[in-house]
Structure 1
Amino acid sequence: MVEESLRSTALESVHEASGATFTDFAGWRMPVRYDSDLREHAAVRERAGIFDLSHMGEIHLRGPQAGEALDHALAGKMSAMAVGRAKYSLILAEDGGVIDDVIAYRLAEDHFLVVANASNAEVDAGELIARAHGFDVEVDDASAATALIAVQGPLSEDILLEALLGDEDVAGLTVEDLTALRYYRVLEGTYRNEQLLVARTGYTGEDGFELYVPAELAVPLWERLVAVGGERLTPCGLACRDTLRLEAGMPLYGHELGRALKPVQAGLGKVVALASKGDFVGRAALEGADHGDLPVLVGLSAEGRRAARADAVVRDADGAEVGVITSGALSPTLGHPIAMALVRPDLTEIGTELIADVRGKDLPVRVVSLPFYSRA
């Protein structure tokens, strides 16, 4: 794909002015880094980082049966969620494989927002439209009209309090609202008289927020956050976002999740509401099925500086292939190699010794609990 054909977010000019290096991510021209992957990673762990995530998909469902429609479309029970809450869920195929992992926000009794991965946004919108057939609900794919900016890190709340509540363009939010906002909750206000959603969610393992605004307001909001954040807030690219989420043990679609994988393999069996709701797409394939012989996701840790990367083979002590690396890196925070891998289910006990292939050389690894990193 030539660069001219890539889609751009509303913040592209801001990234260019900041000296970003770009990459093709799911057909989007996205900043992979501004300066140093390691410095950007450390900024999120120690202070705060700001990310442009406007390549993600935003799909609204509105109507008296919006909750019931999502109960049918997703693996979780969305209709029981309170207004102002968020819930992690999965879109399953009929055979129980994972089409995508999503976050659903309940903005009103009859209004939900589903946020999809960039690589699956159009597919997800199509699935939700098809699965809403027969329900009293309207599905609106607002992805192209929506910008998503994330502020992540231990200083993110302080920065948002100053940036948003000290801005006359922001209305409908209070200090008490923001400081009381718990994880997987969302607030609604306005920015320049347009809807502003502030969610306490993220993909870094740190405290943080995700802000949704109309795309035409992305630049002034970004610039306001950066100006107020100052040295506390570092623009961050997708490279450090990947090492941050890996340290936090968070799955990435296409690596730890995919159509060929069942939720239980990634440790997401509890996300599937088999006991608390009726029929939904994928239920028949999963209910009562025995998946005990399928590979299971584990964390792996090693010593030294060489890291096993995605698709590397995992072997046992006898040299037999027993799994595959799904994601791997030299952990910037921990200082040693980490990886997630799908391995034979009898080899998942903590402390199990295995071998990962690193460019034709053996790397001793051991099974460890996930996540690799948890904030204090």
Structure 2
Amino acid sequence: MKQTPLTAKHRALGAKMVEYAGFEMPVQYTGLVEEHLTVRSHVGIFDLTHMGELELTGSGALATVNMLSCNDASQLQVGEIQYGCLTNERGGIIDDILIYRTEQGFLLVVNAANTAKDYAWIKQHLQPETQLVDRSAETTLIAIQGPKSAPLVEEVLSLSVSGLRNYTFMEPEYKGVKVLLSRTGYTGEDGFELYFPNTFAEELWDAFLNQGEKYGVKPIGLGARDTLRLEARMPLYGNDIDDETTPLEAGLGRFVKLDKEFIGREAIQKQKEEGLRRRLVAFTMIDKGIPRHGYPLLSLDGQELGAVTSGTHSPSLDHPIGMGYVQVESAQPGTEILVQIRKNQARAKIIKGRFLA
């Protein structure tokens, strides 16, 4: 099991450690609900070093990225970031990624469990004059998330983020070493992600915790990261999306640019023309019960519609919420459905938009 450069820090803070994507990671420190609400009201710090960073450079880098991603990376200027999906020939999602347009080329940030798979897929489809380097092992990634994240980042890094828009990044120096600082996150809050060499991991982690005391900062585990992203209706790879689901089915059509060539384009174009058979929806429970991954979703007359992909008791709403795929005829907001929770059937209602306003 791999460790991050911050594993000793997590243990010293009393974190409960678990295996995740081949890494020993903190699932919680003081408790999931407290950590979750800290990010919603103040600011939290996350160790995300398990994520993968793949660098593409050379004159063929743009052609490579655009052949692999369903989004259009040619629209990116240096300093801008784009969400996209790597899709297979069937239009299924190999991974959902962030694409950073750097001066040298592109940095692709990929999900931890998919780093080796993505690297192999990208290498297989490299266009001429393109170099691919896996920077994951040498890169620490921490996230600062929450309404107090901006003043904390400004204080620790001695800079202003007032001009840093969402999905853009800058590359300031910290003690003579370049840091990549992006206004991105996976919580639904304002926040930042920092990429930097492993040698500075403990020093920067401590700086954010120490200087963040006045902002109410706390370390946040993967448990709260999951409930935070679910409240924001952000999909989790392996749960809500995988290589058998397409971006259109997952509600990610705005990131699909069919006016350019990419692997999977024909399959997705055909699906768009013929119409979807299923769609990823969000729902809140009407009856008691927590929807869990894999629980069947039924129509009110007992017909199977699909299954729950993500579910939890929302700490912010103090109410059970979930996501899952249903037949498209039953996917309209306001539709009531049933969740099969063990031997019981509990009513739920499909909603539009995020769970949090």
CA distance in 2, matches of 1:72, 1:350: 34
1:46 CA drift (Å):
0.1
Paired residue type of 2:268: L
Alpha-carbon distance, 1:291 to partner = 5.3
Does the Cα contact within 8 Å between 1:304 and 1:336 map onto a contact in 2? no
Q: How many corresponding residue pairs? A: 355
Query: Which whole-Å CA distance do the structure 2 matches of 1:366 and 1:185 have between them?
Result: 36
What's 2:116 paired with?
A: 122
Whole-angstrom distance in 2 between the partners of 1:304 and 1:158: 41
Task: Rate the CA distance shift 1:162–1:53 in 2: closer, same or farther, 3 A.
Answer: same
- SS of residue matched to 1:181: coil
| C-alpha distance in 2 between matches for 1:158 and 1:192 | 19
**Distance of 2:106 and 2:297 partners within structure 1:** 41
Query: Over residues 288-308 of structure 1, what are the superposed CA-to-partner deviations in whole Å (9 max), with x where a residue is unaligned?
Result: 334524210111111465211
Instruction: Name the CA distance, whole Å, in 2 between partners of 1:297 and 1:112.
Output: 30
Matches within 5 A, 1:43-54: 43-54=38-49
Query: 2:308 & 2:186 partners in 1: Cα distance?
Result: 20
Q: Provide the alpha-carbon RMSD of the alignment.
A: 1.3
Q: Deviation at 1:163?
A: 1.1
Counterpart among 144, 149, 172 of residue 142 in structure 2 = 149
SS at match of 1:263: coil
Distance 1:243 1:291, change over 3 A: farther
CA positional deviation for 1:371: 0.9
Kept in 2, the 8 Å contact 1:304–1:337? The answer is no
Q: 2:86 corresponds to which residue? A: 91
**Which secondary structure state, in structure 1, belongs to the residue aligned with residue 239 of structure 2?**
coil
Deviates more, 1:358-367 or 1:153-162: 358-367
CA-to-aligned-CA distance 1:240-282 (integer Å, 9 cap, x gap) = 000000000000001111011111110112212112x2x2111
- Residue aligning to 1:250: 234
Q: Percentage identity across aligned positions? A: 38
Q: Alpha-carbon deviations, 1:56-76, whole Å to 9, x = none? A: 000011112221221112111
Counterpart selection for 1:332 from 315, 328, 333 = 315
1:62-211 pair list within 5 angstroms: 62-108=57-103, 110-132=104-126, 134-165=127-158, 174-175=159-160, 178-211=161-194
Task: Indicate the residue corresponding to 2:31 in structure 1.
Answer: 36
CA distance in structure 2 between the aligned counterparts of 1:296 and 1:337, rounded to whole angstroms: 20
Contact 1:92 1:100 in 2 (8 A): yes
Structure 1 residue 283, shift from structure 2 partner: 1.4
What code does the residue aligned with 1:287 have? Answer: Q
- The answer as to whether partners of 2:287 and 2:346 remain within 8 angstroms in 1 is no
Q: Distance in 2 between matches of 1:191 and 1:314?
A: 50
| Equivalent of 1:350 in 326, 333, 353 | 333
Amino acid at match of 1:13: A
Q: 1:212 aligned to 173, 186, 195, which one?
A: 195
Once residues 7 and 338 of structure 1 are traced to their aligned partners in structure 2, the CA distance between those partners, rounded to angstroms, is 33
Distance 1:81 1:65 in 2: 15
* Stretch deviating more after TM superposition (153-162 or 135-144): 135-144
Runs of 4+ aligned residues of structure 1 deviating over 6 Å after TM superposition are none
Partner of 1:171: none
Q: How does 1:310-325 map to 2 (within 5 A)?
A: 310-325=293-308
Is the contact made by 1:41 and 1:241 (CA closer than 8 Å) also made in structure 2?
Answer: yes
Q: Mark the runs of 5 or more structure 1 residues left unpaired by the alignment.
A: 1-5, 166-173
Q: Deviations over 1:202-244 (max 9, x none)?
A: 0000000000011121111101111100151110000000000
**One-letter amino acid of the structure 1 residue matched with residue 281 of structure 2:** V
Aligned counterpart for 1:287 among listed residues 249, 269, 272: 269
The residue matched to 2:206 in structure 1 has which SS? Answer: helix
The yes-or-no answer on 1:366 pairing with 2:342 is no
Q: Is the 8 A contact 1:66 1:112 kept in 2?
A: yes
Q: Is the 8 A contact 2:167 2:183 kept in 1?
A: yes
What is the alpha-carbon distance in structure 1 between the residues aligned to residue 274 and residue 203 of structure 2? 50
Q: Distance in 2 between matches of 1:48 and 1:291?
A: 45
Cα separation, 1, equivalents of 2:286 and 2:350: 13
Do the aligned residues in 2 keep the contact of 1:202 with 1:208 (CA within 8 Å)?
yes
1:263 lines up with 2:263 in the alignment: no
2:220 corresponds to 1:236: yes
Structure 2 residue identity aligned to 1:307: I
Give 1:182 shift: 0.6
Aligned letter for 2:247?
A: P
Shift of 1:193: 2.6
Is contact 1:243-1:329 (8 Å) kept?
A: yes
Deviation at 1:320, TM superposition (A): 1.3
Structure 2 segments unaligned to the other structure (5+ residues): none
| CA deviation after TM superposition for structure 1 residue 17, in Å | 0.4
Opposite residue 64 of structure 2, the aligned amino acid is A
Three-state SS of the structure 2 residue aligned to 1:220 is: helix
Distance 2:183 2:33 in 1: 25
1:3 alignment partner in structure 2: none
